[in-house]
Amino acid sequence: MMQSVARLTATRRFILASQSPRRYDLLHDCGLHPEVIPSRFEENLDKSAFRMPELYAMETANNKAKCVFADISRKEPERPIIVVGCDTIVVVDNQVLEKPQNEEEAVKMLQLLSNKTHFVHSAVAIYTSVRGIGSPHIFSEKTLVTFQDLSLHAIKAYVATGEPMDKAGAYGIQGLPLVIRKMELVSYLQWNQDEQVASWPVSRDV
């Protein structure tokens, strides 16, 4: 699959609508080299308007990509482009956790996650164009993550590093490998243009 994506991006302007270094690195590791243009979308959707948390993440990713796609298409209507927007949320005890606003909130989030199982929803929206006409593909993957019991001292020490401050749920998988007891990809969700939803266990290439 990645070979076909690489061929596609070679003939189109390829844009990542995110300033996340981790997302850029993931694409770079796959042999893809996107141009980074952060989205101007304010990420202010009403969570209560969505019947499933992953739909909230998918719509946020969609709006991020759509804003950048619209801006570029107005400036270069004839140029083929690909725009990728992403969003990640953490859900525990029916609460949606996004990026913490301050260190105190980061500590509270990690205390909430300690010794519990939670879901990480990773949503992606991909817009491709021919002559300025966009064709979006939106999907989300859900990962089940279980934390070990974390002491307050360990939590505060981790928060003091600054790493949690730009991450949903106040942590990054790469930064907390020793506290994760279990991690399992459990489902894949796709949202087509008619807003119909299908879900099935993931043991496939997307």
Residue 3, pLDDT score: 57
| Domain ranges, residue 160 | 2-200
**Mean per-residue pLDDT, 11-33:** 87
Please give the mean pLDDT across all residues of the chain.
83
Structural domain contains residue 75: yes
Residue 187, pLDDT score: 62
Structural domain contains residue 206: no
Residue 195, pLDDT score: 36
User: Which two three-digit tokens encode residue 183?
Assistant: 């991690």
Nearest CA to 141 out of 86, 103, 69, 73 is that of 86
Residue 8, pLDDT score: 67
Q: Which of 46, 87, 166, 205 is catalytic?
A: 87
Structural domain contains residue 97: yes
**Could you tell me the sign of the dihedral formed by the alpha carbons of 91, 92, 97, 103, in that order?**
negative
* CB contact at 8 A, 65 and 29: no
pLDDT band for position 189 (cuts 50, 70, 90): low
Structural domain contains residue 205: no
Q: Is 156 helix (H, G, I), strand (E, B) or coil?
A: helix
Which tens digit of pLDDT belongs to each residue from 65-123?
999 999 999 998 888 899 999 999 999 998 999 999 999 999 999 999 999 999 999 99
**Mean per-residue pLDDT, 8-25:** 85
Angle between helix 103-113 and 152-160 (nearest 10): 140
Nearest CA to 185 out of 146, 145, 147, 143 is that of 143
Number of C-beta neighbours around residue 71 at 10 A:
16
Structural domain contains residue 171: yes
pLDDT band for position 194 (cuts 50, 70, 90): very low
Beta bridge partners of 191: 138, 197
Residue 129, pLDDT score: 82
Residue 99, pLDDT score: 93
Structural domain contains residue 128: yes
Domain count, the chain: 1
CATH number at residue 186: 3.90.950.10
Q: Is 57 helix (H, G, I), strand (E, B) or coil?
A: helix
HSE, CB side, 13 Å, CA atoms: give it for residue 91.
Answer: 16
**Mean per-residue pLDDT, 43-71:** 94
pLDDT band for position 196 (cuts 50, 70, 90): very low
87 counts as catalytic: yes
Maximum Cα–Cα distance across the chain: 56
Residue 127, pLDDT score: 92
Which tens digit of pLDDT belongs to each residue from 140-175?
999 888 898 889 998 999 999 998 998 999 998 777
